Amino acid sequence: GEASGEPPGFSLSSRVQPDPSGSETCVCLQVEKHLEPFRLSLEKLQDVSARLRKDMLRGLGKHAHHRAAVKMLPTFVRATPDGTEKGDFLALDLGGTNFRVLHVRVLEEEQRVLKMDSQICAIPQEIMLGTGEKLFDHIAACLAEFLDSQKLRGQTLPLGFTFSFPCEQKEIDKSILIRWTKGFNCSGVEGEDVVRLLKEAIHRRGDYDIGSVAMVNDTVGTMMSCGYRDQSCEIGMIIGTGTNACYMEEMKNVKRVEGEDGRMCINTEWGGFGDDGSLKDILTEFDEEVDKTSINPGVHTFEKMISGMYLGEIVRLVLLKLTEEKLLFKGCPSEALLTPGSFETKFISEIEEPDSGLENAKKILTKLALDWDLVDACVARLVCDTVSSRSARLCAAALATIANRIRTNRGLDHLKTTVGVDGTVYRKHPNFSDELQAAVRLLAPKCDVSFLISEDGSGKGAAMVTAVAQRLALHCMLNFL
């Protein structure tokens, strides 16, 4: 820590320490030995950022891109909102915590996006792991039910489809799934056009239709929904079940799309960072275990160190290791602690709560049928803090890379920019956002980065993308006439 010349306030030692008096000092030191690999110095983070910068360049390149771990996918979103968009839209949101269907109205006069109504539809596990046809039939059925409840059947409204998985987009309405992430694994969808699959499912039913479709990654929806309020919002970031970011890149750098002028939003898919082995030096034995036991080993290395789908499991594995080493729970793990997935990511937030954290820790350890004492509860807190801090700092390193890139792209000494952000980890964890912001300040000192929590980016943002696409299409047509 100190040796890397960190300024005060960026202490790598944790806020929560077990009482270092008496025999516990020894426990503390031994615990620390196991947590040490999670503590990334400022220097290390700068190094990670430099690696990501190179990977982003590779992803943008015309040929190198096929082998790139960070895919840098063109989104065909060429403009952020200018405040003249309007109309009624449908939106679908698949790939976050819930699957949702929404009816959204964009009001030009008030520069506002209204969510008229929305509905959550459960996606049962067997559909998440079944055939693509079943998945899209299920989606089409949910949409039908929603249209009926809203008395919208018969109107062919344009639809924004927030599909939060890596897609190779050919056009705004043609989008090929590269691979599933985050627990989805439906057969026959990878390599296929998702818009076609959706339309086919609707036509199989034959009892309603939809208008034009715009495909949107959740990061893009998040950026666009914030962009309506703050026109300097040019980055979208998600830290939820998965993690990812998008930003506005200069067209001349987007070698895989024709044209030199203007900008295009790039979906970085930073979750894949490290899939070529470039993060080996910072992976812990626990990260390797999480990867090995996931449904997609070797895929989304960076995401597995950061996002909500995995953080709880990392903590569980560390607690288990410390128990095996007789540093916790008198050396006795419970059945629950031995069960994958039993330590939910939301426990981390609860345990790190500044006031009620220790009490919450005790409750959770009791729920997991562990024989704990006060030191155990403190150590559990320390583990949670260590794992979530690493997540926040890694995100900061990645976000700083993007901010620095936008700044140098534009030849600026100083950049002021806004990030639209969403995701359960960012929203629910008590100090994740503070840690993230503090680290970004250090890692991108020439950028003044503000954060705007997106109000339903995946719903309203998708409608916004659809609206902007329509506005641009209209302009195009008018120019042509």
What is the distance, to the nearest Å, from the Cα of residue 59 to the centroid of all Cα atoms in its chain?
A: 19
C-beta closer to ligand BGC: residue 146 or 165: 165
The minimum distance between CB 396 and ligand BGC, in angstroms, equals 17
> Which lies closer to ligand BGC via its Cβ, residue 193 or residue 269?
269
Shortest distance, position 215 Cβ to ligand BGC, whole Å: 11
Residue 228 or 310: the one with the smaller Cβ distance to ligand BGC is: 310
Applying CB under 6 A, the residues found at the interface with ligand BGC are 95-96, 164-166, 181-182, 217-219, 238, 240, 242-244, 269, 271, 303
With respect to ligand BGC, which residue has the nearer C-beta, 45 or 238?
Answer: 238
Nearer to ligand BGC, 268 or 470 (CB): 268
What's the min distance (Å) between Cβ of 430 and ligand BGC?
A: 21
Minimum CB separation of residue 236 from ligand BGC in Å reads 9
Nearest in space to 80 (alpha carbons), one of 473, 452, 465:
465
Burial class (CB in 10 A: 0-12, 13-18, 19+), 336: middle
Q: Are strands 112-121 and 174-177 parallel, antiparallel or unpaired?
A: unpaired
Q: Which residues are catalytic?
A: 182, 218
**From the CB of 209, what's the least distance to ligand BGC, in Å?**
28
